[in-house]
Chain A
Amino acid sequence: MAIIVAVLGCLGALVVRANTVLDHRWDWSVIPIYLVRTDPATGTWAPNLLLQGLFTTVRLAVWSLLIGTIIGTVAAAMRVSARPALRWLARGFVELIRNTPPIVLIFVFYFFVSSQVMPGLGIDRALRMAPTMVQLGVASLLASPERINDFMAGLACLGLLAGAYMTEIIRAGLQSVPASQIEAGRALGLRGWAIFRKIVLPPALRNVLPAMAGQFIVSIKDSSLVALISIQELTFMSSEVASTTRRFFEVWLFTAALYFSVCFTCSMLFRALERSWKLRT
């Protein structure tokens, strides 16, 4: 009880001191203006810059985690495979991505992928010529035709980043299943894929759920790095709003609160998952 009071007291003193030193005129009214806007034509509410950025961040996070999990599972299987070629390939991939700072990786990868590979694929040209319903559908799931190239390139970077770290997490999970379990499966007459699906995968996932939750949250926060390459997610939009209104503290504090709420929701979901998957012993 005393400790809680002491900590709260310290925090309160910090806030008061910061306020006196900063001498800042707080003006939170810019936040609602740039959060939601009233469409002049229809009169309904529509998301403004900050909410649009939040939606893009969520899209980036969800897709990069999906891609990362797929890459991670495949690479983890390669890592424990009997063939040395597959093992070396997977190990090379993981070491390359893990040992490079994410920002450097994003800069290098993004400019290469975005200028060489994306125009070759022609996704944006195809999307521009598609009917409006298709464009709207793609825009809500991914991005509008003008932004699709950037979005996909940024997604590729983030997916690779998530994939490398997921590989190690999933590999740890796979290797945590004792060999005796697999032998028991073979004794029962099960073959490779059935053993993997019924005997190895459930305990493996259960064991690495906390680590995976951590990686999910890290991926959500890593999506803020792509603001440096001008993908219009939450961090980029906050920077624009802060520069335009010059209400630096208010905008960034609010953005921090938004990121916190997204990550905390993820954390809560994982806690619920952990509880529901716990073995009843």
Chain B
Amino acid sequence: MLIRNILAALSCIVLLAAPPVRAQTAPQSAIDTIEQRGSMMVGMATFVPWAMRDSQGKLVGFEVDVATKLAQDLGVKLELVPTAWDGIIPALIAGKFDVIIGGMTITTKRNLTVNFSAPYDYAGSSLAVAIALQPDFKLDKLNAPSITIACRRGTTACTNAAEFFPKATLRQFDDDAAMTQEVLNGNANAFAASEPLPSRTTIENPGKLFTPLSQQDQLNRLPSGMAIRKGDVDTLNVLNNWIAANTKFLQARRHYWFETQDWRAVVGKVN
């Protein structure tokens, strides 16, 4: 009895006196962590053709090419961490990876929680509308309470749709497949997403959808940047200078993935 009480008291003292586990007080810059670890961990989500899985299960796409070249130039290995898009910023802040290279649009709201590099790409947000609405179609027809617009949770296409069609009902989904299916089923009248998803979906489902906006007058044309944690000037400097030095590479890759369809033959069963 006495020994048990003494042991209990001792264990309490030891637990209380043990140093508390907490995050480092002076966080290391991401670039230093990368160099120390010998690999760069990059967060991204599945968005065709920014990042997707080929038939071997490997991640391929525009963002993967960018991340691969960046890792090569830094002299480290690349580790891709596929993450659900609507939790990707909390995951970055929690330290799951060092940088987000996933076609993330630079918005001021996001900028309050993460730092963005200089823009390295531009994404246009557009619509695909159900064919039933095509006769006498005008864009303001979509701004009505009877209209439902589907979009992917956490993307700027959602914000754009809410901004341009405030009276319409917005339904948010966690992935592209669910969102497009909603419109094809007839439960939503349109979906808003970054090009080339609306055009591709229209081509793949002949006679079901149409795209009212041409390349020139998309809903919005916004810059994408690489996101890193706040308070990290060193990494920002490295990323910005890399982007400035690799404009030709970025343009060539953008042309390959977005303006040609050659990659479909190589990648396999991707839609």
Contacts and interface: CB of A to CB of B under 8 A. Distances in A.
Interface of A: 22, 29-30, 33-34, 37, 40, 48-49, 52, 111, 114-117, 119-120, 128, 146, 150, 227-230, 232, 236, 239-248, 251
B46 interface: yes
B75 interface: no
A239 B153 CA distance: 14
Contacts of A115: 23, 94-95
Given A29-B269, A246-B177, A48 B56 contact: yes
B176 A243 contact: yes
Contacts of B56: 37, 40, 48
A73 B175 CA distance: 40
B94 A33 contact: no
A117 B41 contact: no
B185 A116 contact: no
Given A40-B56, A244-B52, A230 B269 contact: no
Interface string B202-224: 00100000000000000000000
Contacts of B95: 115, 119
A120 B23 CA distance: 8
Contact of B55 (A37, A128, A230, A236): A37
B233 interface: no
Contact of A245 (B37, B91, B270): B270
Interface stretch (B81-89, B132-140, B251-259): B81-89
Contacts of A48: 55-57
B178 interface: yes
Contacts of A245: 269-271
27 contacts: A22-B185, A29-B269, A34-B53, A37-B55, A40-B56, A49-B53, A115-B23, A115-B95, A116-B23, A117-B21, A128-B37, A146-B41, A228-B84, A229-B84, A230-B91, A236-B82, A239-B46, A239-B174, A239-B177, A240-B53, A241-B53, A243-B47, A244-B48, A244-B270, A245-B269, A245-B270, A247-B271
Q: In terms of DSSP, what is the predominant structure of the interface of chain A?
A: helix
Contacts of A22: 185
B270 A52 contact: no
Contact of B82 (A111, A240, A246): A240
Given A116-B23, A241-B53, A245-B270, A230 B94 contact: no
Closest 7 CB pairs of A and B: A115-B94, A246-B271, A242-B177, A230-B83, A244-B52, A248-B177, A120-B21
B181 interface: yes
Contacts of B185: 22
A246 B268 contact: no
B79 interface: yes
Given A34-B55, A228-B87, A240-B53, A114 B176 contact: no
A36 to B, nearest CB: 10
B117 interface: no
B41 to A, nearest CB: 7
Contacts of B48: 243-244
Nearest to B152: A243
